[in-house]
Structure 1
Amino acid sequence: MLRLVVPAVVVGALASLLFLTISGLAENLQGVLWETLPDALGIGRYSSLWIIVMLTATGIAVGLVVWKVHGHAGEDPAEAGLGGAPVPPGTVPGLLVATMLALAGGVSLGPEYPIIAANIALTYWLGRRVLPGAPGALWVSLASAATIGALFGTPVAAALVISEALTQQPGPAHASLWDRLFAPLAAAGVGAMTTTLVAHPSFDMDLPVLTHPGWGDLLAALIVATLGAVLGLAGCYAFPPLHSAFQRLRHPMVMLPVGGLLLGLLGALGGPLTLFKGLDEVKELTSDIGAYSSGELAKFTVIKLVALLVAAACGFRGGRIFPAVFVGAAFGLLVHALVPEVDPSVAVASGVLGVLLATTRQGWVSLFTAAVLAASPAMLALLCLASLPAWLVVTGRPQLELDHAGHSRH
């Protein structure tokens, strides 16, 4: 295991730096597209017209990348989850450019899938040349763990994801779980620390801290998480026919501009909060609880979910975790607005838990993300219990991920 420390450290640092570079470029481009350019043209930064124009233009730009750039920006994102087999390294530039354009242009997808795929491809390609005797699975696990650690700013999320994946993979009979987690956890730790030192990320939503949960809080968590799972599952059922409809358009220069136009119309209807990957927007949403009516929160919830489905179905490159977090948070605040007796922290954390369980089918990541948003150790027991009925709702049912035939994975 000691021999794996140096490769893990190198992969962790480089994976984080790639993530930070793409995120930084996307943020700078976002400032130009949504602030500098509309100001220069005398158009409102987030006017309905500008939102429609920008999302349509983003669809055209990403369509050109998918159509013309070598590798076509990787596989159909509707068929991709976290991790997976390495893609050819020649597809990475197009994938990263398409991702950067989507993030900057306001598409309702996050960076996790394409950044993980790019880091896996590059790590696998370089690792096989530097240490040809090392198993290929090692480089995949190091890159996956390092990127997840960088994305969440902590190695805990990566350890949970990798441990969940390891239960489905054969390994040496003598190796304990922590033996197999040793190198990925080292990579995740370095990736997380690199991100923390360079960018200082924060998942703090400034929610009221629940210190002494009661029976009413437990009942609320059970109900809200289950309803959130039902909401997320509705999106999973709608995803295959929506993806099939876009596939009938056949060409990326039709699929993506049409998808961009639809996203623009949805953004004009929902407003700026329903644009982009959703993490900063969640912070704004929860910064002043009670500022939005139940009608507005219902609108945010539905529009963001539909925007996530459209963006993933039409071919934009991006991940689904962060937009799903926004959907869950908006849904939780909607429950709080309708039933003020429900603690807002319980409502938001449970809503996020339910929606993520349905859309990602990653139990540990869903529980971890909900717990981080709540920022309360006392909430852990509530969320663990709330995950049980929500999991019964989603297990064995369609996922927000398709197979190569266009059918939902179960």
Structure 2
Amino acid sequence: MGLNWNWREHRTLARFVLKWVLLAVPPALLAGSASAFFLWALDVVTRTRWAHPELIWLLPLAGVPIVLIYGRYGKGSEGGNDLLMEHIHEPGAGVPTRLAPLVLGGTLVTHLFGGSAGREGTAIQMAGGLAAGTARALRLSEADTQLLLMCGVAAGFGSVFGTPLTGAVFALEVLTIGRVSYEALIPCLVASVIGDWTCHAWGIHHLDYHRAISGAESLDLLLVVKAAMAGSVFGLTSVLFAELSHALKDGFGRVSRPWLRPVLGGLAVILISRLLGTTDYLGLGVTAPPSNPGAVTILSCFHDGGAGMMSWWWKLLLTALTLSCGFKGGEVTPLFFIGAALGNTLARPLGLPVDLAAGLGFVAVFAGATNTPLACTIMGIELFGAAHTVPLAAACFFAYYFSGHTGIYSSQRVGTPKTGRPDVLAGQALRELRPARRRRDNDGAMTGGAIMSTKPHDIHAREMGQLRIYIPSGERRKPKGLRERLFNPPLYREIIHAAKKDGILNATAHGVQYGYSGAGQPLAPHPEHGNAKLVLCVELIAHRGELETFCRQHAEILKGRVIVYKHLEHWDLRQDDVVVHDATKKELKEGA
């Protein structure tokens, strides 16, 4: 009986690990250093605001330069975390390096003048911008750039919160609901650990979330049931936060002058704070200012009487207002506040210890809002110890399911739908489900098609062509030299890179769940490591002449493939009367 061992496979694995250990370290060092500076600067501006509470009155004006600078120099940077996710899912124009200084400055201004925001978004976006810059400097392929961006997400999250394992799992889990990218397991772990170590090496100490929470040490079934009940409420709360944030953002988006949006939002934040008679729900909300030691904060929520019955709601509302009107920052730290305060409120009705209920809410609302139950369970263990692993997991898992197909990241995609709803399909982004949900509610049933714009537009059609090329997903060209051995991308990625270089309008690769090509045998992906022989489809869209030229120029790699051409019609929307017409003779001639 022989051993099922292939030394070539393990050589390839060792080469992959070595490559990504070397590639993940530089952006992780940069991300950890950026997080260290950011945390130091954030502490400075927070203390400045505490010393000068009158700065809150300048909040509406402070948002104007943020919006104007992003509008003039951002060039797509407004997408923030969603921009990173979109580029990881489908490479486009790239993540601009300027994203790092823009979001850093915008977040510090937001906190200086009293906006209610967090910090994880800033750390992740800085790390993503730096990782993208590193990829461009090293001239990495788009596939390697995607993986390096995931390393940036891991390093940014792990370094800003001091939770390296959570940072690694978060980067793997947050991109696609219900699926984890195991290919990035080691690169993300290396990046998160190095990022956290670098941040500590600069002498930065994270705020003390770490604390032991009370309750039974042994597994208590009733405690787990209570945690699951609380998790359901936390999941519904995450839906409220996500949907309110999206609705407010849509509302502010209707304001024709962008600079006016933060003015209106800032005035609303000031008005609500004045009506409440407190500034407890402004800023980061982790610790209390020296002048008001009795303020409601994340840390106070772990004690009986440390939060009011509606504290969670006021933090939720002010954070949604702040981030929806153009101010910068993250959502995660406010979600910690919302969850801990709500846990404090639910502790007595559910018969839970206050600190345990606050700890469950701390991680579970975050789990529901980001659809990352595994990462949040691990965070609970890293912060509160392993004694309550099962209740923490129950709260996070139930919050994940009860949050439905919603979340704070619109570019997050559905990998495995949480339910059997026919209108939720694998591969859809959450932003695609929101208008679908509105159409279903208004019409009583799903109706296909796009959202009709309230502005009149003219639809101009012209002839295009679609080329579909079917190849095995794991096929590669025979490498020449050491560099190609280390950085030899799969053939389908090489085709897409060549299409980009040749100016093809659109090039994407579509996975296949089951099928065959060229009269071969039907194949299916392996549940753990895929199937390199399973065919996938590379789709190119351009004029027919351009596609024919592309095939001739790259005949070496396309020869013998199953290639299918299909006629399409390309639509351009131009602001004018709403008229749909056939392509003109001139356009048909140009597209031929």
TM-score grouping bracket, smaller chain normalisation: 0.7 to 0.9
- The answer as to 2:105 corresponding to 1:97 is yes
Contact 2:60 2:266 in 1 (8 A): yes
Aligned to 2:539: none
CA distance in 2, matches of 1:164, 1:232: 17
Aligned to 1:290: 304
What are the within-5 Å matches in structure 2 for residues 184-263 of structure 1? Answer: 184-197=188-201, 198-204=203-209, 206=211, 208-210=213-215, 211-263=217-269
CA distance in 1, matches of 2:273, 2:434: 27
List runs of 5+ in structure 1 lacking aligned partners: 39-44
Higher relative contact order (CA 8 A, sep 6+): 1
CA distance in 2, matches of 1:213, 1:170: 29
Shift of 1:326: 0.3
List runs of 5+ in structure 2 lacking aligned partners: 1-16, 88-93, 289-296, 412-428, 438-592
Matched residue type, 1:93: P
Aligned to 1:331: 342
Answer with 348-357 or 323-332: which moved more. 348-357
Determine helix, strand or coil for the equivalent of 1:297. coil
Contact 1:256 1:314 in 2 (8 A): yes
Shift of 1:126: 2.8
Determine helix, strand or coil for the equivalent of 1:356. helix
Shift of 1:190: 0.7
Shift of 1:254: 0.5
Q: Which has the higher helix share?
A: 1
- The answer as to 2:62 corresponding to 1:58 is yes
Matched residue type, 1:53: W
Determine helix, strand or coil for the equivalent of 1:135. helix
Of 49, 65, 74, the residue aligned with 2:77 is: 74
Aligned to 2:161: 152
Contact 1:110 1:322 in 2 (8 A): yes
Residues 319 and 217 (structure 1), Cα distance of their counterparts in 2 relative to 1, 3 Å cut: same
Of 434, 437, 456, the residue aligned with 1:408 is: 434
CA distance in 2, matches of 1:103, 1:72: 24
Residues 305 and 399 (structure 1), Cα distance of their counterparts in 2 relative to 1, 3 Å cut: same
Shift of 1:213: 5.0
Shift of 1:131: 4.8
Determine helix, strand or coil for the equivalent of 1:80. helix
CA distance in 2, matches of 1:24, 1:140: 24
Residues 168 and 385 (structure 1), Cα distance of their counterparts in 2 relative to 1, 3 Å cut: closer
What are the within-5 Å matches in structure 2 for residues 176-191 of structure 1? Answer: 177=182, 180-191=184-195
Deviations 1:295-328 (A, max 9, x none): x522311110111211222122222111011000
Aligned to 1:369: 379
Shift of 1:51: 6.4
Matched residue type, 1:352: F
Contact 1:83 1:113 in 2 (8 A): no
- The answer as to 2:257 corresponding to 1:276 is no
CA distance in 1, matches of 2:160, 2:56: 29
Matched residue type, 1:191: G
CA distance in 2, matches of 1:135, 1:381: 37
Aligned to 1:41: none
CA distance in 1, matches of 2:161, 2:246: 29
Residues 235 and 370 (structure 1), Cα distance of their counterparts in 2 relative to 1, 3 Å cut: same
CA distance in 1, matches of 2:376, 2:434: 20
CA distance in 1, matches of 2:317, 2:77: 24
Deviations 1:6-41 (A, max 9, x none): 332222111011112123223223333431xx3xxx
Residues 393 and 136 (structure 1), Cα distance of their counterparts in 2 relative to 1, 3 Å cut: same
Matched residue type, 1:233: V
CA distance in 1, matches of 2:186, 2:210: 31
What are the within-5 Å matches in structure 2 for residues 109-124 of structure 1? Answer: 109-124=117-132
Computed over aligned residues only, the root mean square deviation of the Cα atoms, in angstroms, reads 3.2
Matched residue type, 1:280: T
Contact 1:235 1:305 in 2 (8 A): yes
Matched residue type, 2:74: G
Shift of 1:237: 3.0
Aligned to 1:344: 354
Shift of 1:236: 2.7
Of 18, 37, 41, the residue aligned with 1:21 is: 37
Deviations 1:270-294 (A, max 9, x none): 623311133336444236x1244xx
Shift of 1:366: 2.6
Contact 1:205 1:283 in 2 (8 A): no
Deviations 1:154-173 (A, max 9, x none): 320122123325878999xx
Residues 194 and 310 (structure 1), Cα distance of their counterparts in 2 relative to 1, 3 Å cut: same
CA distance in 2, matches of 1:72, 1:128: 17
Matched residue type, 1:275: L
Contact 1:150 1:193 in 2 (8 A): yes
Of 274, 295, 313, the residue aligned with 1:302 is: 313
CA distance in 1, matches of 2:164, 2:86: 19
Shift of 1:80: 2.5
Aligned to 2:394: 385
Shift of 1:83: 4.5
CA distance in 2, matches of 1:298, 1:261: 25
**Structure-1-length-normalised TM-score:** 0.82
Q: Which has the higher strand share?
A: 2
CA distance in 1, matches of 2:361, 2:282: 20
Contact 2:56 2:113 in 1 (8 A): no
Of 354, 358, 365, the residue aligned with 2:364 is: 354
Residues 28 and 346 (structure 1), Cα distance of their counterparts in 2 relative to 1, 3 Å cut: closer
Contact 1:59 1:259 in 2 (8 A): no
Residues 82 and 223 (structure 1), Cα distance of their counterparts in 2 relative to 1, 3 Å cut: farther
CA distance in 2, matches of 1:232, 1:168: 15
Q: Percent identity?
A: 21
Matched residue type, 1:80: D
Bigger CA radius of gyration: 2
**Structure-2-length-normalised TM-score:** 0.58
Contact 2:369 2:407 in 1 (8 A): yes
Matched residue type, 1:28: V
Residues 270 and 199 (structure 1), Cα distance of their counterparts in 2 relative to 1, 3 Å cut: farther
CA distance in 2, matches of 1:96, 1:102: 10
Contact 1:59 1:258 in 2 (8 A): no
Residues 3 and 103 (structure 1), Cα distance of their counterparts in 2 relative to 1, 3 Å cut: same
Matched residue type, 1:369: M
Contact 2:158 2:195 in 1 (8 A): yes
Shift of 1:221: 0.9
How many residues align? The count is 384
Shift of 1:189: 0.8
Residues 240 and 123 (structure 1), Cα distance of their counterparts in 2 relative to 1, 3 Å cut: closer
Determine helix, strand or coil for the equivalent of 1:279. coil
